[in-house]
Structure 1
Amino acid sequence: MDFVSIRIITDEINRLVGFYEKITGVQAAWGNEDFAELRTAHGTLAIGSTRTVGLFAPGSARPAENHSVIIEFLVEDVDALYGKLKGVVDEFVNEPTTMPWGNRALLFRDPDGNLVNFFTPVTPAAIERFRR
């Protein structure tokens, strides 16, 4: 088995895709007006409009109601990115903070309220865990 992607369902696909393009620097690949993917070396963030839900399971997904999932991105320097995100992100949950498991993490919300974590491993064990 291979984990491939996570998909966010949204009422405002252009706004959400634009937000993720800005914060990641990754250009979205659009399948059509209702579906786009931001592909990285190790995973894909897919974004679909609410119109796509009816195609696979009507009523099964509701946009902007996530309170349990955190979308995480490994970044080179979370502290440097924090300054750059201040004009793009409306709601920061915390400032860059070193976590007990060795990552320096920055949590914020995307325009739909989903939690996003940008993190940089900073301890030797965390750096080794994420060595690519």
Structure 2
Amino acid sequence: MDFVSIRIIAGDINRLVGFYEKITGVQATWGNEDFAELRTAHGTLAIGSTRTVPLFAPGSARPADNHTVIIEFLVPDVDALYEKLKTVVEDFVNEPTTMPWGNRALLFRDPDGNLVNFFTPVTPEATEKFGR
């Protein structure tokens, strides 16, 4: 088995794809007007419109209703990125904070309220774990 992607269902797919393109610097690949992917070296963030939900199972997913998942991105320098994101992100949950497990993390919400974590390993153990 191989983990491939996580998909967000969006009420306004253009707004959400645009947001993720701005914060990640990754250009989305559009499959059609209802589906886009932001591909990185180790995973894909897929974004689908609400019109894709009935293709899987009607009523099985709702946009802007996530209260359990944090979408995480490994970044080279979370502190520098935080300064750049201040013009894009409206809802910061915290400022860059060093976590007990050795990552310096920045938590914020995307326009649909999904939690996003940008983090940089800062301890030798965390750096070794994420040394890519």
Q: TM-score, normalized by length of structure 2? A: 1.00
Confirm whether residue 96 of structure 1 aligns to residue 116 of structure 2. Answer: no
Partner of residue 65, structure 1: 65
Q: Structure 1 stretches (4+) deviating beyond 4 angstroms?
A: none
Structure 1 alignment gaps of length 5 or more: none
Local SS of the residue matching 1:19: helix
Identity of aligned residues (%): 88
Local SS of the residue matching 2:84: helix
Aligned-pair CA distance for 1:41: 0.1
Partner of residue 5, structure 2: 5
Local SS of the residue matching 1:6: strand
Local SS of the residue matching 1:20: helix
Cα distance in 2 between the residues matched to 1:107 and 1:12: 22
Tell me the number of residue pairs that the alignment of Structure 1 and Structure 2 aligns. 132
Cα RMSD (Å) of the superposition? 0.3
Pairing 1:110-125 to 2, within 5 Å after superposition: 110-125=110-125
Partner of residue 51, structure 2: 51
Confirm whether residue 127 of structure 1 aligns to residue 127 of structure 2. Answer: yes
Partner of residue 106, structure 2: 106
Structure 2 alignment gaps of length 5 or more: none
Partner of residue 87, structure 1: 87
Cα distance in 2 between the residues matched to 1:119 and 1:41: 16
Confirm whether residue 77 of structure 1 aligns to residue 77 of structure 2. Answer: yes
Cα distance in 1 between the residues matched to 2:83 and 2:64: 26
